[in-house]
Amino acid sequence: MRENYFLHKLHSLTGIIPVGFYMVQHLTLNSFSLAGPSKFNGVIAFFTAIPGHILWLLEIVMIWIPLAFHAVYGIAIVARNDDNYSHKAYKFRENRYYRLQRWSGVVAFLFLCAHVTTTTVQAKARGHVVIEYDAWHQLLTSNGYIVFMLYAVGVTACAYHLAYGIWNFCIRWGITISEKSQEATGKFAAGAFVVLSVLGISALFGFINPIFASKEAEVQVQRETPTHDLPVNDRT
């Protein structure tokens, strides 16, 4: 079965805009966890301040619809199990890039399904708009840090898929035609993969920092302790 030219072009484009852009800004905002709970929760407070109907519209139009299309059509491409390039026309390196990008897409798809279900869906079902630092700490440290390790694998797969998706996008859209330009884009993709992986995994470590976690627990206790139970000298 031959590919649909328009759908394949659209699939390639949505992987960069808006899905790729959203992933970069999402990892960047998550990295505020490295500065502590107050900084990360400050980012969360910004989104909480956005009117609910506007936030829903932005999420549906700019995130969920493009992401759903990119994921479903991508799975259909993987199901065909055909190489994108001829082994005679392209080096093994290019075929390896593309094959790994496909399989990283499958891992990323499974990871995002689990991530959205256990975070966004549950939060909205409980009436919450966003999830703050303390909830992320509890999630990532549960079950002996297994969840943390699964997130690290998922973030790495997403980073690879986007980074080498840029390489593939440039070829498919005729931006890099010569072998030299494709090699240069491949080096850029390798650098982007490292940067995105470090950014995402560093953000995860920010959520499990024991110093931040203990401070957040102290603040939570202070919030829940009635004023009349405090010593006279501690009342304000």
pLDDT digits (tens, 9 = 90+) for 94-146: 777 778 888 999 999 999 999 998 888 887 777 765 688 998 999 999 888 99
| Amino acid identity for residue 156 in this structure | T
Tokens of 83: 């190489």
Top-confidence residue, 42 or 86: 42
Top-confidence residue, 127 or 220: 127
CA distance 8 to 14: 10
pLDDT value at residue 42 = 95
Confidence grade of residue 1 (pLDDT, cut at 50, 70, 90): very low
pLDDT value at residue 21 = 96
pLDDT value at residue 221 = 47
CA distance 150 to 194: 18
pLDDT value at residue 170 = 94
CB atoms within 10 A of CB 32: 19
| Least confident window among 29-43, 73-87, 152-166, 177-191 | 73-87
Question: φ, ψ for residue 103 (rounded to 5)?
Answer: -70, -30
CB atoms within 10 A of CB 108: 25
Q: What average pLDDT does the chain have? A: 85
pTM above 0.75, yes or no: yes
Top-confidence residue, 120 or 200: 200
Q: Is the pLDDT confidence value at 43 over 60?
A: yes
Confidence grade of residue 226 (pLDDT, cut at 50, 70, 90): low
Confidence grade of residue 228 (pLDDT, cut at 50, 70, 90): low
Q: All domains of the chain, ordered by start, with CATH?
A: 5-221 (1.20.1300.10)
